[in-house]
Amino acid sequence: MGVKVSGIYWTLGAFDGVIVCDAPDEETATAALLHLGSLGNMRTQTARAYNVAEMQKILGHLPK
């Protein structure tokens, strides 16, 4: 589907692990996660991350 895993981490706390992946767009990432979830052996939760330039652009929309 064009999604590439760039990191796998086992964690303590509310989640057993975190998988960091890169996809061509958010729709492709969502489709891949829906497919994985439909297999029945894992649940997914996403967290959108922003790089510095993206966050600066978002913050530029805030009222001054």
- What are the backbone angles phi and psi of residue 27, rounded to the nearest 5°? -65, -40
Whole-angstrom Cα distance, residue 49 to residue 27?
15
pLDDT in tens, 39-53: 998 888 888 889 999
CB crowding 26-40: b at 16 or more within 10 Å, else e: eeebeebbeeeeeee
pLDDT 10s digits, 8-46:
999 999 989 999 999 999 999 999 999 999 999 888 888
* Cα first-last separation, the chain: 42
Give the Cα-Cα-Cα angle 54, 22, 49 (nearest 5 degrees).
35
pTM: 0.68
